A and B are shown apart, each in its own frame.
Chain A
Amino acid sequence: MAADVAAGTRSAAAARLVAARRLVYLYFRCLGQQMKAIMAYEANFIVLMFSAVLVQLAGLAFIWAIFQRIPDVNGWTFWQVVMMSALIFVTEGVGSLFFEGTWRLSYLVYTGQFDQMLVRPISPIVQVLAGAVGFNGLGNIVTGFVLIGIAMANVPVQWTPGRVLMLVILLVSAATIRVAINLASAASTFWIRSPWSMVPMFVHQLGDFAKYPITIYSVAVQALIVVAVPFAFVSFFPTAFVFGVEAWSLAGLLTPLVAIYAVVMAVWIFRVGLNRYESSGH
């Protein structure tokens, strides 16, 4: 009996694993279709790549401008701030490159094309996420990683294997938080039925606050980007942890938990919104 139960739990776990693998596989299959679609328009593809490079250069110029004017922000060194910006760049890039579909949700919902996602045997969330590829994200990712490299080379940190592993975990968590925020804000379209909802853009812009140390802001802004829309866990807290800034590094360890919280909330908001979906042309 006990063995049966154990076997049952094992097979249930195995089934979940298979289901998860299937989702990831289908996600990349859907994304692959989008890639092919983009490649189909060669000229457009080239322009996109070019614009990605431009964004990259603009990002570097921006950092350089900061370097010229403010060598030290509220006790935070230049390279620490660079690290924060870089994390915002990288996660934004990951969001565009792999999860650009969230930006199309309001259009799909407004036109009723979202119907199709509800009659396929895959989670609509996966379909939404895989609904588009933003090659411009490549520029942000490359810029971000270059800046992370430079920042780390300029800050004396003892690189233990544990710290390297933690950096990887933090990067993944930061990107997850960013994508979850995108998804949740995109889901606002189920309430605001307009073809181009401004809510996702507004929420996205809040991310800019997190390019700088949160200590420079008022309590209200801090509460906003720590609790309500946890962009601070995308950049500020991970940076504090990686560079061992005593006062904040412990909070940095919370980042993976915040990632889980963000995903759960985003999925919940999406599901509640989904039940309000009214399609179009009845």
Chain B
Amino acid sequence: MPLIEARGLTKKFRQAVKEPGLVGSLKHFFTRQYKDKLAVDHIDLSVEAGESVAYLGPNGAGKSTTIKMLTGILVPTSGSLVVDGLVPYERRQQNARKIGVVFGQRTQLWWDIPVVESFNLARDMYEIPPRRYKENLGQFTEMLGLAEFMNIPAGKISLGQRMRADLCMALLHDPKLLYLDEPTIGLDIAVKDRIRKFIRSRVEERGTTVMLTTHDLGDIEDICKRIVIIDNGKIIHDGDLAKLKDTYARDRVIHFQLARPPESIEPICAELPACELATDGLRLSVRFDRFVFAAGEIAAAVMSHVEVVDFRIDEPEVEALIRKVYLGQLSLDSPSQPAPAVVEA
């Protein structure tokens, strides 16, 4: 039985249609016009306990709406949804005990009182046993480096500090499920790194199930094994991150720095069929399918013809891949259909 099970989950919003200006507003006041927006359109999703899922999509794709339905904030328009045996919006309070939620754009902390007081309130709300609370707070304080601002009101700490404190608060009661909606938005690299490490430790040590939305692909590679992509309210990809890379990002590029400009690259081309070669002065780059050639073979073939001073390998970039998906240049398959062996993206 999956931890999260959604079938045909749909959320429709009614939006007021107004013409611009005062006249438009007046007109709207007398003749109300609305149009429906399908934010989430019949999605099927199941997440097993212990999985860490990245939920991706361009702005307005329906990510946050999905998360809000899963957490019980929003009532779905249609479809079924069960999270750990409960329908979240029918049993909000029971559901809340089992989940931790971090919305990057908002805070759960009380703005005007010291951070530690918010934690203490969480302890009372979630009825965390005193020993467990002390243990968790101690551990999280150290891992997230909270000590320096523990006694400062949440309104007076930096964004990075606030996010760390929010993450701590969301996990104090050892939730089974952690929902993160853009947890690293606007943070510097050091803080991002710390946050990712912390989340990974929860996944590894406690088996916490994580559902994460982000625009930062570093988050995904560090935390998630599975990615689900939503666009226009529909899930357009659901699968393993490694497999996605293997299927759609098989190309690697080796860049060589040569001692002399090559006279001709024809002989190298002949040795490396189905590879793309490009030269520019002292530079030579070879694009190849990493399942056809090993990087060593490429290097050996090149070096047997020209003198190489230096070289580097570009790994397939998930970011570029996802960007292509968003732009509609690459259509991924829905999980139900077998993936065709397409090499060129």
Chain A interface (Cβ < 8 Å from any Cβ of B): 22, 25-26, 29-30, 33, 36-37, 40-41, 112-113, 115-116, 118-124, 275, 277-279, 281-282
Contact = CB atoms under 8 A, between A and B. Distances in A.
The 7 tightest CB contacts between A and B, nearest first, are: A37-B112, A121-B96, A282-B65, A119-B101, A121-B97, A118-B73, A121-B93
B73 A115 contact: yes
Interface string B64-83: 11001001111100000000
B110 A37 contact: yes
25 contacts: A25-B124, A26-B124, A29-B124, A30-B121, A33-B113, A33-B118, A40-B113, A112-B106, A115-B68, A115-B103, A116-B108, A118-B72, A118-B96, A119-B72, A119-B73, A119-B101, A120-B93, A121-B97, A121-B126, A278-B74, A279-B68, A279-B73, A282-B62, A282-B64, A282-B65
B111 A119 contact: no
Nearest to B90: A275
A278 B125 contact: no
B74 A122 contact: no
A278 B74 CA distance: 6
A278 B13 contact: yes
A40 B153 contact: yes
A277 B74 contact: yes
Interface in B83-139: 89, 92-94, 96-97, 99, 101, 103, 105-106, 108, 110-113, 117-118, 121, 124-127
Question: From DSSP, what is the main secondary structure of chain B's interface residues?
Answer: mixed
B252 to A, nearest CB: 38
A124 B117 CA distance: 20
A220 B80 CA distance: 47
B210 interface: no
Contacts of A115: 68, 73, 103, 106
Choose among A112, A113, A115 the residue with the greatest number of B CB atoms under 10 Å from its CB: A115
B8 interface: no
Given A119-B99, A121-B126, A282-B64, A36 B113 contact: yes
A282 B60 contact: yes
A122 B125 contact: yes
A140 B97 CA distance: 39
A278 to B, nearest CB: 6
Interface residues of B, number: 37
Given A26-B125, A29-B121, A279-B73, A118 B92 contact: yes
A36 B117 contact: yes
Given A40-B153, A115-B73, A119-B96, A281 B64 contact: yes
A277 B73 contact: yes
B176 to A, nearest CB: 14
B39 interface: yes
Nearest to A193: B16
A128 to B, nearest CB: 14
A116 B106 CA distance: 9
Contacts of A116: 106, 108
Interface in B181-236: none
B259 to A, nearest CB: 56
A7 B75 CA distance: 37
B124 A275 contact: no
Contacts of A112: 106
Contacts of B72: 118-119
Choose among B92, B117, B124 the residue with the greatest number of A CB atoms under 10 Å from its CB: B92
A250 to B, nearest CB: 41
A20 to B, nearest CB: 14
A113 B71 contact: no
Nearest to B94: A121
Contacts of A40: 112-113, 153
B111 A37 contact: yes
Choose among A113, A122, A282 the residue with the greatest number of B CB atoms under 10 Å from its CB: A282
Nearest to B97: A121
B41 to A, nearest CB: 13
A92 B39 CA distance: 42
A277 B94 CA distance: 19
A120 B125 contact: yes
Given A116-B106, A282-B39, 16 more contacts: A25-B124, A33-B118, A36-B117, A37-B110, A37-B112, A115-B68, A115-B73, A115-B103, A119-B71, A119-B96, A120-B93, A275-B89, A278-B13, A281-B64, A282-B64, A282-B65
B256 to A, nearest CB: 48
